[in-house]
């Protein structure tokens, strides 16, 4: 399908600034009315995943994946869960390893190209005959995981998966890591490194012979973090190797089901290479929408705590292809 010519998203008055769109929902948005029921499932390698369900006893399900150092309680996740429920969908929010409030068991954690855990979740859920259709929704890192997953599996994808929506996706990981090093993004970068540090400290305590927390404060970029931790822990030779193998952009041409990619033109985290117009024009299953505004995982409505444009747009797309 061609790139959407003109997005319908219009930011609220005085909220066109991408940093306001990125920060305000993260810090101040509250989503009421969601009561999760947690399910823990085991992974083949002896670890576990925590799934948070919001069921309304429907026969269609939306699986929601969060971003880097997020979890199922983030406003953007809960807002999407609420929108799914309001539109007659059950919802499942996946917490990546170590993101559910309890450290995972193994040295390995999660990363932008880890599609194996998503496959475990889909395989587990698809065994239940209650669901006639499953949709995938991913934010940022979670969106990269979904796009890579769909492209990797191609026509071998579980037939229960009917459509997907991804938002604010860093589909070129190397370029986006460089983008975060820019002066205007340093506060975001420092926050990510601080959150990741807590996990490294725990891993050092549990696996002192495999990982070290020494001189962590000398790390000032995501590339330095990924060179020291993400790469070695997860089987990559370096950060560059990780970025090359985990970036979803190379998999877009093989996506086999209707998939919507929404990346705001003013997203402070995304490089120019994260707007894959050529790939969308060549793959009839990929729809690329580039709103002029929206920041990173923003797309605010005029009501801070209400339903956002991104949620209405995402559920509408899933409804079209259920």
Longest dimension (CA), the chain: 54
Paired residues of 136 in beta bridges: 63, 164
Instruction: Report pLDDT for 128.
Output: 85
Helix or strand holding residue 138 (H, E): strand 133-139
Tokens standing for residue 44: 């083949």
Handedness of CA 65, 68, 69, 75 (dihedral sign): negative
Instruction: Report pLDDT for 79.
Output: 98
pLDDT tens per residue across all 322 residues of the chain: 579 999 999 999 999 999 999 999 999 999 999 999 999 999 999 999 999 999 999 999 999 999 999 999 999 999 999 999 999 999 999 999 999 999 999 999 999 999 999 999 999 999 888 999 999 999 999 999 999 999 999 999 999 999 999 999 999 999 999 999 999 999 999 999 999 999 999 999 999 999 999 999 999 999 999 999 999 999 999 999 999 999 999 999 999 999 999 999 999 999 999 999 999 999 999 999 999 999 999 999 999 999 999 999 999 999 999 9
Q: Are 305 and 29 in contact (CB under 8 A)?
A: yes
At the topology level, CATH places domain 18-172+247-320 in Rossmann fold (3.40.50)
Residue 139 has phi, psi (to 5 degrees) of: -110, 130
Active site residues: 140, 267, 296
Domain boundaries, the chain: 18-172+247-320, 173-246
Instruction: Report pLDDT for 1.
Output: 57
Please, how many CA atoms are within 13 Å of residue 291, restricted to the half-sphere of its CB?
Answer: 27
The pTM assigned to this predicted structure is 0.97
Measure the CA–CA gap between 64 and 62, rounded to whole angstroms: 6
Tokens standing for residue 45: 């390698």
The radius of gyration computed from the CA coordinates of the chain, to the nearest angstrom, equals 19
Cα-Cα-Cα-Cα torsion 152, 311, 274, 267, nearest 10 degrees, comes to -150
Q: Are 106 and 66 in contact (CB under 8 A)?
A: no
Helix (H, G, I), strand (E, B) or coil at 71: coil
């Amino acid at each position: 399908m061609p790139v959407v010519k003109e997005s319908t998203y219009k930011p609220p008055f005085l909220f066109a600034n991408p940093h306001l769109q990125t920060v305000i929902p993260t810090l101040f948005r509250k989503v009421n009315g969601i009561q999760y029921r947690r399910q823990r499932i085991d992974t083949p390698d002896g670890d576990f995943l925590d799934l948070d369900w919001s069921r309304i006893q429907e026969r269609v399900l939306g699986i929601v994946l969060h971003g880097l150092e997020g979890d199922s309680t983030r406003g953007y996740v809960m807002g999407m869960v609420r929108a799914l429920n309001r539109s007659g969908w059950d919802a499942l929010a996946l917490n990546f390893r170590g993101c559910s409030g309890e450290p995972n068991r193994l040295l390995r954690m999660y990363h932008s190209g880890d599609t194996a855990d998503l496959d475990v979740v889909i395989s587990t859920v698809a065994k239940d005959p209650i669901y006639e259709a499953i949709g995938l929704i991913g934010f940022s890192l979670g969106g990269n995981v979904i796009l890579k997953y769909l492209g990797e599996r191609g026509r071998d994808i579980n037939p229960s998966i009917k459509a997907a929506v991804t938002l604010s996706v860093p589909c070129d990981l190397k370029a986006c890591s460089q983008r975060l090093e820019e002066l205007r993004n340093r506060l975001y970068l420092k926050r990510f490194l601080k959150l990741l540090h807590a996990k490294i400290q725990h891993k050092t305590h549990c696996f002192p012979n495999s990982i070290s927390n020494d001189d962590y404060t000398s790390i000032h970029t995501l590339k330095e973090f990924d060179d020291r931790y993400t790469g070695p822990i997860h089987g990559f030779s370096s950060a560059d190797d990780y970025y090359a193998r985990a970036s979803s952009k190379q998999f877009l041409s093989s996506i086999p089901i209707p998939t919507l990619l929404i990346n705001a033109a003013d997203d402070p985290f995304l490089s120019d290479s994260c707007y894959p117009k050529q790939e969308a024009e060549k793959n009839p299953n990929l729809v690329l929408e580039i709103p002029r505004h929206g920041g990173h995982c923003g797309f605010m409505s005029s009501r801070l705590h209400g339903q956002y444009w991104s949620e209405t747009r995402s559920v509408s797309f899933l409804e079209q292809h259920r």
